[in-house]
Amino acid sequence: MSTTLPYALEEIGTLYAFLETGCPEVVTRSRQSLVSAFALFLYDYVLTISDEIEYIWDKEWSFGKLLFISNRYISFALAIFDIIIINRGDLGDKLKTWELWGENATPSSIKLLIRDRLVT
């Protein structure tokens, strides 16, 4: 049984509305957890930027380099987007659609990185 995108967006909207009204402590904890996770993400980025410059930026372009950079910076953009979404609530169907597709971008690029390492 396949779920159409409009139906999925409607379900997400219903879930957000329920959480906002029925379980405000869940929403508060989710917001706090998301901001904490982003702080750790930023901390990791600051700690590893020198290694990234040395081992990634100074090398020739390759499939692995492209996947690493896209994974690193798409994840960063998605984390910021998640913070905006959870703190502002309903931003419309287009942003919800982007959120649904964005959540799949990072795991897919990680799988490609692993596949590339296994093949070489």
pLDDT at 113: 59
Identify the pLDDT of residue 6: 63
- Predicted confidence at residue 46, as pLDDT, reads 93
CA angle 64, 57, 61 (to 5 degrees): 45
CA 118 to chain centre: 25
How many other C-beta atoms are found inside a 10 Å radius of the C-beta of residue 109? 19
**Which of the four pLDDT bands, split at 50, 70 and 90, describes residue 51?**
very high
CB 90 within 8 A of CB 16: yes
Query: Which amino acid would we find at residue 2?
Result: S
Least confident of 14-18, 65-69, 75-79: 14-18
User: Between 114 and 80, where is the model more confident?
Assistant: 80
Residue 1 confidence (pLDDT) = 46
In whole angstroms, give the CA distance from residue 100 to residue 47.
30
